[in-house]
Structure 1
Amino acid sequence: MFELRRLRLLHELGLRGTIADVAAALSFSPSTVSQQLAQLERDAGVALLEPDGRRVRLTAQGRLLAAHAARALELDEAARAELSHSQDAPARVRIAVMPTAAEALVPPALTLLAERMPDLRLDMVELAPEVALFELQTRAFDLVVAEQYPGHTREVSDGIDRTLLGRDPIRLAVPKDDPATGLADLRDRAWVLEPQGAAVRRWAVQQCRAAGFEPDVRFEATDLVSHARLVAAGHAVAMLPDLVWTGGRSTVSLRQLPGSPVREIFAATRSSSRDNAAVTAVRDALAEALAAHEPR
C-alpha cells in the first residue's frame, strides 16, 4: 500500500524538479526526502528516479505514479473538506494574492466573512501571480487571486479552476498638473513600468508602440503603489489599474487609454476544492469586494 505522504513527495518532485526544492518547500531535510522516495520505490517495485547529472529526475514509471499521486491528493482533499463540513468544524482557507488585491480586496472581504462565517480562519500571503499559481498546484494555498492583461492569457493547468471575479479598468496616470490628454502626448516623459519579462510590461510597451513611440523607462518596480507615488511626485507617468487607487487618486490625473482596456481579476482554486463551502465563501466575498470597489 502506498503511503500518501510519500506520494506527495513524488508529486512535489515532479513539479519542483529537485529534491532540494522539495525539502525547502516542505520543511524537510534533503536526506529525509531522499529516504522517503527510496522507500516509495521499494513499495512500488520499480525505479521511480534516475540520475540526471548531479540531480535526479522521474522515470517513465515515476511520472505515471506522480500522476496517480496527484489524483490521490485531490481525493484526500475532497474527503477532508466533506468531513469537515459535515461536522461543522472550524474552517481554514489559505490564500495568496497579488499586492493590489491584498490592499483593496482582502480587508472588505474579511469584513463580509466575519458576518457570514465567523469561525472561518483566513490566512493570506502576498505573492506575485506567477509564484502563487505554481504553489497552488503544490497545495501550499487553497485559493489564489491573480490577473491577466489584454492579449496575455495566463497558462492553464490541469486540475485548476478559474473564476472571474471582475474587471479592473486600466488608465494613464500622469502628474496632477500635466497637460497631456492622451498616450501620444507622453512620448517624451519618463515612465515607470514593471520589470523586464513581466506580461504587463510587454503589454504596456505595445500600447506605447501602437501610439508611435518607445517609452523612456527610467523606473522599474513590481509594487504598483510605488508607481503611483512616482507619478504623484511628478517624476514619471504610468499605466495603472483602478485597484491601485484604494488610498486615493486625488494626487494624480487619469486619462483614458485607447480602447478603454481592462485587466481580468480571477480566483484560481484546485478542482478538488470545487465543493468546499469555505473556499467558495472566500471567493464570493472577494468578488463582492471587487464589485463594490470605488477608487477615491
Structure 2
Amino acid sequence: MFELRRLRLLHELALRGTLAAVAEALSFSPSTISQQLAQLEKDAGVALLAPDGRRVRLTEQGRILAAHAARALDLDEQARGELESVRAGARALAPVRVAVMQTAALAIVPVALGLLAERSPDLRVELVEMPPERGLFELAARGVDLVIAEQYPGHTRAHADGLERETLGTDPIHLAVASADPARALDDLRERPWVMEPAGTAARLWAVQQCRAAGFEPDVRYELADLSAHARLVAAGQAVAVLPDLLWAGAPAPVSLLDLPGRPTREIFTAQRVSSGTRAGILAVRRALRDAFPTPAR
C-alpha cells in the first residue's frame, strides 16, 4: 500500500520541481524528502525519479503516480471535510490557513475576523500575506486552504483544475497623484515618475497597459510590493500611481484620485480547492469574507 504522506511528497515535487523547494515548503530537510521518495519507489516497484544534472525529474511512471497522488489527496480532503461537517461544535473544526493580498488584509480581513469571533469563536484562522499569483499556486499545492485574490479587467487569470472561485465584489481603480498636483487625466502623467508593483504581477501588467493605451511608456522608477509605500511616495509628490480603493479601507485617501478611462474596477474573489468544498471551517471563513466586503469610498 502507498502511504499518503509519501504520495504528497511526490505530488509536491511534480508541482514545485525541485527537492529543495519541496523541503522548504514542508519544513523538512532535502535528505528526508529523498529518503521518503526512495521508499515510495520501493513501494511502487518502479523508478519514479531520474537524475537530471544536479536535480531529479519525474520518470513517466513518476508522472503517472503523481497524478494518482493528486486524486488520492483530493479524496482524503473530501473525506475529512465530510467528517468535519457532521461533528458537533466549532471545536472540531480544522484550522483554516488563508493567503491574503495586502489590500484584503487592510479592508476585508479585520472585519471578517470580528464576525468569526462572534460566529465561530473556536475556529483558528491563520493568515499569510502573498501576492495572488503565489497564493493561487500554494492553494493548488495545499500550502493554504483559501486565497483572496484579484483579477483586472481584460486580464483573466488562468483557471486551474481542482480550484473554484467565488466573487466577493468589485474594487474601483484610480490614478493617484499628490493633493496639489494639477494633473487631471492619465495623459497628463506621461512625463512623471511612476511607482508600480513588481514586474510579472497582474497589477503591474495592467497598469503598464493603461499607459501604453494612452500612448506612452511609463517611467517606472520605483518598484515596490507594498501599496502603502506607493501611497506615501505619491502623497510626497515623488511619484504617481494606479491604486485600488480598498487600499484606503474606508478612510479618506491622503492623495488625489483621478478617474481612469472607462472607470475600471478589479474583481476581488476567493478561491479554494474543490475537494475542500465540504469543510465547515472554510465555508465559515468564506461567508465572513462575503459579509465583510466593504463598499469602497473615495
Aligned to 2:80: 80
Q: Which residue of 2 aligns with 1:222?
A: 225
Contact residue 250 and residue 296 of structure 2 kept, 8 A: no
Distance 2:46 2:164 in 1: 33
- How much has 1:189 moved relative to structure 2? 2.1
TM-score, with length taken from structure 1 = 0.95
1:10 aligns with 2:10: yes
Q: Is the 8 A contact 1:96 1:143 kept in 2?
A: yes
| 3-state DSSP of counterpart to 1:13 | helix
AA partner of residue 253 (structure 1): S
Instruction: Report what 2:208 is aligned to.
Output: 205
Q: Is the 8 A contact 1:91 1:119 kept in 2?
A: no
Give me the whole-angstrom Cα distance separating, in 1, the residues matched to 2:232 and 2:144.
Answer: 31
Contact 2:93–2:281 (8 Å) recurs in 1:
no
> What corresponds to 1:244 in structure 2?
247
Equivalent residue letter for 1:113: L
Taking the aligned partners of 2:2 and 2:200, their CA distance within structure 1 comes to 41
Q: Secondary structure at the match of 2:225?
A: coil
Aligned residues: 295
For the residue of structure 2 that corresponds to 1:46, the secondary structure is coil
How far apart are 1:249 and its partner, in Å?
3.2
**2:132 is the counterpart of 1:120:** no
- Describe the superposition over 1:125-156 as per-residue Cα deviations: whole angstroms up to 9, x where unpaired: 11111211111112111001111212222222
Identity across the alignment (%)? 68
Distance between the aligned counterparts of 1:274 and 1:84, measured in 2? 11
Verify the 8 A CA contact 2:133 2:201 in the aligned structure 1. Answer: no
**Counterpart Cα distance in 1 of 2:241 and 2:199:** 15
Deviation at 1:123? 0.5
The whole-number CA distance in structure 2 between the counterparts of 1:212 and 1:26 is 47
- Tell me how far apart the structure 1 counterparts of residues 221 and 130 of structure 2 sit (CA, whole Å): 25
How far is 1:119 from its partner? 1.6
Answer yes or no: is the 8 Å Cα contact 1:169–1:260 preserved in 2.
yes
1:250: Cα distance to partner?
4.0
Query: Structure 1 residue 294 and structure 2 residue 296: aligned?
Result: yes
Q: How does 1:80-99 map to 2 (within 5 A)?
A: 80-88=80-88, 89-99=92-102
State yes or no: 1:105 paired with 2:108.
Answer: yes
What do residues 41-80 of structure 1 show as CA deviations (whole Å, max 9, x unaligned)?
1111111111111211111111111111111111111111
Q: Give the corresponding residue for 1:152.
A: 155
Aligned partner of 1:137 in structure 2 is 140
Q: How far apart in 2 are the matches of 1:13 and 1:91?
A: 25
What is the rounded CA distance, in whole Å, between the counterparts of 1:128 and 1:294 in structure 2? 21
Structure 2 segments unaligned to the other structure (5+ residues): none
Structure 1 unmatched runs, 5+: none
Stretch deviating more after TM superposition (23-32 or 8-17): 23-32
